[in-house]
Each structure stands twice: as C-alpha cells, then as structure tokens.
Amino acid sequence: MSPLLIVLILAALLGLAGVGVAVTLALRLRRLERQLHRETPAAEPCSAFQAPLLQAALSERLHRNPFHRAVPDRYKLAADLLGQGMTAQQIADLLGLPPAEVRQLVNLSKINRSRPDAAKAPKEMAPFGR
C-alpha cells in the first residue's frame, strides 16, 4: 500500500471524525433547545429578564466542563506539529488539510495556550493545543 494512499485514508477518517463531532454537537444543541422550550412555562408571561436568564442557563450548560469533549485527532496532531516548530503551510501539506483550516487551528492553539484555565485540565483531555 503506497504512503499516499495511507495518508488519503487517514485524512478521510479524520474528516469523518470531524463530521461526527459536529453532528453530535448539533444534536445536543437541538435537545437542549427543546428542553429549554419545555421548561419555559407557556401560561405565564415571561418577565423582561427571564428569557435572557434562560438563554444564559442554556449557554452555561453547553459550555460547562468543556474538557470532557473529545478533541479530533487532527487538531491534536496539528498542535503537536506546531509545537515542534512547523509552519501552518508545512502542517497543511503534511496532513492534507486546507491551509486556511490549519491557520485557524494555529490561532486556536495560540489562544488556548494563553488561557489560564487550560492548565487545570488533564493532558489527555486538555483543550486543543495543550
């Protein structure tokens, strides 16, 4: 089996994993939105601050404990390669990803490195770039 074929297969698998994560998050969002609508009493009029309060509660639930979400392997690999001194273009060429996506991953990695709460997460569950 040629190395190019192996790289293409790995890239396809990583792409499928990314799609799976996106679908999972979309389904979770829909479930939480339905739950929010069920929890909002229809008979009582909402006060001026109640609707934003419910939205804030939903947002807090979505962002609670982000360290338990799986980070796609390509993001971890891109962060590791960046840490080894590779440029975004070199990483894009190696992983077969669009350069714009890798530049975005590099930016996310830099942001996460500067977050003080990122150091609290265990290494295997740390956010991208840790």
Domain with 116 in it: what CATH number?
A: 1.10.10
User: What's the average model confidence in pLDDT over 63-83?
Assistant: 72
- Of the two residues 124 and 39, the one the predictor is more confident about is 39
The most distant pair of C-alpha atoms in the chain lies apart, rounded to whole Å, by: 66
More confidently predicted of 64 and 85: 85
Q: Say whether both 78 and 48 belong to one domain.
A: no
Number of domains in the chain: 2
DSSP for 32-61? HHHHHHHHS-SSSPPPTTHHHHHHHHHHHH
The answer to whether position 130 is within a domain reads no
Confidence (pLDDT) at 107: 83
State the pLDDT confidence band at 97, using cuts at 50, 70 and 90. confident
| Boundary (domain end) residue, out of 64, 83, 101 | 64
**Residue after which a domain boundary falls, among 20, 36, 64:** 64
Joined together, the tokens standing for residue 24 give 């999972």
Domain with 58 in it: 3-64
The whole-number pLDDT of residue 125 equals 43
Q: Is residue 78 part of a domain?
A: yes
Does this model's pTM top 0.85? Answer: no
Q: What is the pLDDT of residues 11-61, one digit of tens each?
A: 887 887 788 888 888 899 999 998 888 876 655 555 667 778 878 887 777
Same domain (yes/no): 77, 116: yes
High-pLDDT (> 70) share of the chain, %: 75
Last residue of a domain, one of 21, 37, 64: 64
| Axis crossing angle, helix 3-39 with helix 73-83, rounded to the nearest 10 | 120
